Chain A
C-alpha cells in the first residue's frame, strides 16, 4: 500500500476549504453564517442587520488567533512545526463545554489524538513489560495517558484557562466551564446490555477488553455519571493535549506525532511495581510455579535480628529448588514471607526484555532493521 505523506502535500490540500467544516445536517441560521475562516467568500451573504443582532459567539473567533501573543508563545514553546497554523492551535483550546458545535471545538481533534496516544503508549507498555496483567496495563495506560496526567502535561506547557469562555477572551486561553452539558466524545466502546443493572454487576477483565474503552472503564449510556469539578477540569485540560497531538498528526503526519508523543508523554517516568495489589500472594506464587513447571516455592530464613526485641527484622527468601525467586524483609516471619512472595511475583510480572525495546511502529521508518518478534506471554496466573 502506498504511504500517505501529508508533509509532501501542497498548500492547497492543507488549507481549509470554505464551508468544509460545516456539517451536512441543517444548522440554525446563526451557526450557518458563523464562518470563521479568513477567506473573503464567506462574508458574501453577511448582511449588516444580521451582524448587529448576532448573538455573541461562545468562544473567540479564529480571526483573532493570529493576533494572540499567548497562542504564538505556546506554538513556539512546544516547537511545533510551521505547518500547524495558529488557528488550529486555537481550536485545540476550545472545549466542547464552551462551544458545543463540533465544527468549532476540539472534540474531533481530541478523539484523534487520544487514539494516537493510546496506541503509542500501549505498544510501548506491551513490548517493555510483556507479562503485565491486564488490570495493571489499564492503570499504567491511565498513568501515562489518563486525564490527570495529561492535565499535568498541559499545565507544564503553560496552558491557562479563561475565567469564563466567551467571544472577547484571548484565544490563547483554554475555553472551558464546569457545566452539566459535557459533550466530550473522546471515548469509544460499547454500551453494555447489563449496564442498567447498576454498578454491582460484575465486569470481568476479558469483557473489558472487548466492550469497554481504552482504559477499561465502562462507557456510560444515556445517563452519564456526574463528574466532580476537578474531574471536569482535568478532562478539559487533557483534551487540549489530545487535540494538539491530533493536530500534529493531521498537519505533519505519523513520524512527527510519534516523536512528539515520545518526548512529551512516554518520557514521563512510571514505576509499575507500585501499581500492584495482591490478594493471596503465596498461593498465587505456588500456582505460578505449578503452571510453569518449577519446583514448589519454599520460604527460607536468610537472616534475622532482634527476635526477642520490640523491633525484629527477618529477611526471608523464596526458593524454588535451588533458585532464588525473591527476598523480603519484615517485622514478623509471616509478613516477611508474604513480602518475599510478593517480590517474587513482581519479578515475574515485571520481566522486561530490556530498556531499548523495539515497538511495531518502529518498522514504519525507512530503512528499519528486520522485525524480531517480541516476547509474548501466555497470560496471567489464574
Chain B
C-alpha cells in the first residue's frame, strides 16, 4: 500500500520540502513547481486574490462618451444548458418569420449566431466524434446472401454473426436479419446465457439492473 502511494504520488509533490527550503533562503528563488495559495500575511493574500472582473462585466469601451458608458447594459448570462425551446434554423418551417430574419442577418454579414453562419469553414467546427454509425455499402448480392445463409445453417457455431459480418463486410444487424440462426442454435445460446446469469451474484445483478434504470432515466430526460 505504502509503496503504491509512493508511486502514484506525483513527483512534484516530493519536491515541496525543497521548495520551502529554497524560498526561506532566498526570495529570488525560481518559480515554484506548484503555485501556493497561502501567503504570509492577510493583506498579501487579499491582494493576491483580488482579480479584475471579466471584461463582459465592464461597461462597453467602444462608446467614447463617459455618460453613455454609465448606463450601458451589461449582458453576461451564466453558462447554462441549451434549451429545446430554441428552434435551430433548419428546423424552422418555410413560412416562419424567424427564418426570413435569420436569412437577412446572414446575408448582411453581421450574424450573431456565428456557428450557424454559412460562411464558416469545415475546419472551424468542433472536431467530429468517433462512434459507430451506419455506413451503408450495399455491396451484397443475392448470391452473397444465399452463401451467408448456407454457412450459417451449416455450422452456426463456427460461422457466428461477427464472423459472417467480417467476411461479407456488412453489419451484424444485417447478418441477423438476412441469415438468422436455426431455432435450436438460438435456444442453445439462450440456455447458455441463462446458465451464466444464474452464476451472477447479488452485486452484479443489481449493477445490471441499475444500468438499465439509468438508461431509462436518461431517455426520459431525468439524468
Interface residues of A (CB under 8 A from B): 273-274, 276-279, 281, 286, 292, 294, 298-303, 316-317, 319-320, 322-330, 333-335, 337-339, 342-344, 346-348, 350-353, 375
Contact = CB atoms under 8 A, between A and B. Distances in A.
B21 interface: no
A328 B118 contact: no
A369 to B, nearest CB: 16
B126 A347 contact: no
Contacts of B117: 322
Given A299-B128, A300-B127, A324-B116, 17 more contacts: A276-B220, A276-B221, A286-B134, A292-B90, A298-B128, A299-B129, A300-B128, A301-B126, A322-B120, A324-B115, A328-B82, A334-B131, A337-B129, A338-B218, A338-B219, A342-B221, A347-B84
B221 A323 contact: no
A278 B95 contact: no
Nearest to A376: B93
Contact of B126 (A273, A292, A317, A334): A317
B68 interface: no
B96 interface: yes
B204 to A, nearest CB: 20
Size band of the interface chain B makes with A: 20 to 34
Interface of B: 81-82, 84-93, 95-96, 115-118, 120, 122, 125-129, 131, 134, 218-221, 223
A325 B91 contact: yes
Chain B interface main SS type:
loop
A348 B91 contact: yes
Contacts of B131: 299, 333-334, 337
11 contacts: A276-B220, A277-B220, A286-B134, A322-B125, A325-B90, A325-B91, A327-B82, A333-B131, A346-B84, A351-B92, A352-B85
Most chain A CB within 10 A, of B86, B128, B221, B223, is at B221
Nearest to B90: A323
Contacts of B127: 300-301
A323 B89 contact: yes
Given A286-B134, A302-B126, A353-B96, A326 B89 contact: no
Nearest to B134: A286
Nearest to A301: B129
A326 B219 contact: no
Contacts of A328: 81-82
B93 A351 contact: yes
A274 B223 contact: no
B12 to A, nearest CB: 17
A294 B84 contact: no
Most chain A CB within 10 A, of B88, B115, B116, B134, is at B88
A319 B89 CA distance: 12
Nearest to A334: B131
B218 A300 contact: no
Given A323-B116, A335-B218, A300 B84 contact: no
Contacts of A333: 129, 131
B91 A351 contact: yes
Contacts of B218: 335, 338-339
B82 A343 contact: yes
Contacts of B118: 322
Contact of A300 (B87, B89, B125, B223): B125
Contact of B88 (A301, A302, A324, A334): A324
Contacts of A317: 126
A342 B130 CA distance: 19
A335 B96 CA distance: 33
Contacts of B85: 273, 350, 352
A75 to B, nearest CB: 39
Contacts of A299: 128-129, 131
B82 A320 contact: no
A271 B89 CA distance: 22
A281 B84 CA distance: 14
A190 to B, nearest CB: 31
B211 to A, nearest CB: 12
A356 B38 CA distance: 57
Given A299-B129, A300-B128, A326 B82 contact: yes
Given A322-B118, A351-B87, A277 B126 contact: no
Given A278-B219, A326-B88, A347-B86, A375 B93 contact: yes
A345 to B, nearest CB: 8
Contacts of A344: 88
Contacts of B115: 322, 324
A344 B96 CA distance: 19
A76 B126 CA distance: 61
Given A325-B91, A351-B91, A279 B129 contact: no
B91 A347 contact: yes
Nearest to B216: A277
A325 B125 contact: no
A138 B129 CA distance: 37
Contacts of A324: 88, 115-116
